[in-house]
A and B are shown apart, each in its own frame.
Chain A
Amino acid sequence: MSHQHEEHESSHKPPVRKEMSRRQFLTYTLGGATAFMVAGVTLPMVRFAVDPILRDKGEGAFVKVAEVSKITNEPQEFHFELKQQDGWYLSTANLVAWIRKDESGNIYALSPICKHLGCTVGWNSNSNFPDQYHCPCHGAHYTKEGKQLAVASKPLDEYKVMIKDDWVYLGEIVPNTIVS
């Protein structure tokens, strides 16, 4: 898998500093000292919702993640990074997507964040739930399209997908459109 930064077209980029943001400082002083560079996949969901820099873009930010030829009917886990700017500060989000193509050849990517309370689900990770996503925290499980089957009240979110030059690009996280 590859890491691709979005091309910024704007000529008025704010200066970038690799310093501690206010959020990071509060985390330290509260004694968290944890994930101060961004907390897993949940933060990007918030960022895409509220970050004006990202929202101003026409299509939103897309990151090059996987070659189309590598995508199969079986969901596969892909890791990628997203650089984000929080005002003056640059941080990196480490994201995960489960990507597959359906019977019609359409490629889609699901977020592994459980819609119950935010744990990370795994594909085929529990032998009691074959060919499903399963959450180890409270037993939520989902179909391969992300439809919730127990515990969670919503399906797994999707990443926006763009196919370009035989590569899969992933964008912002949105509510599931496959099952709803």
Chain B
Amino acid sequence: MKFSEFEAETWDEMKKFFDTCLLPVTGLTGSEAPHEAAERLELLRDVMDWIESPFQGRVVTYPAVQYGGAEAADQINRIIQGVRQAGFIYVIVASAVEELNEELLSGVNLIVTPQRYAKSAGQHKSQNPAVQEQILRLWQEGK
């Protein structure tokens, strides 16, 4: 579910079911033409679908980091820390920025990018079995 779908009055009761945060990183630089910005957002949307669609009852999508890619790693790491302080156990970064990796984002549990999981994308656009498998493994193994 998206962060905007929760209400203050019910979050305390609901949060025990939502232990995973999805943090989108768009990777815009500001130099994109309008249609290029839209294309990047669409690409990110497709990646997020792989995660949100099957697991919407356990994953909370937070607002995206729209600008900055690998050079914004420090900022992203601070956000990941903040998200964990907010109570999330698992943090997944979905990004159209292929340069983001586990070395740059030390606190993340999983990074999902189009290129990393392109081969396993299912026949149906919103499904990616390999991504689902990774997330399930994360929850089962607790890492």
From DSSP, what is the main secondary structure of chain A's interface residues?
loop
Residue in B52, B66, B139 whose CB lies within 8 Å of A39? B52
Q: Which of A13-29 contact B (CB under 8 A)?
A: 27-28
Q: Which of A23-74 contact B (CB under 8 A)?
A: 27-28, 30-37, 39-40, 42
A27→B42 CA distance, assembly (Å): 12
Which residues from B are CB-within-8-Å of A94?
124-126
For residue A5, CB closer than 8 A to chain B, the reply is no
For residue B41, CB closer than 8 A to chain A, the reply is yes
Which residues from B are CB-within-8-Å of A37?
45
The 6 closest A-B pairs by CB, nearest first: A117-B57, A31-B63, A31-B64, A119-B57, A137-B58, A34-B48
With A31-B64, A32-B2, A40-B53 known, 16 other A-B pairs at CB within 8 A are A28-B41, A30-B3, A31-B66, A32-B64, A33-B26, A33-B48, A34-B2, A35-B52, A36-B45, A117-B57, A118-B57, A119-B55, A136-B54, A136-B139, A137-B55, A138-B57
Q: Which residues of A contact B (CB under 8 A)?
A: 27-28, 30-37, 39-40, 42, 79, 94, 114, 116-120, 135-138
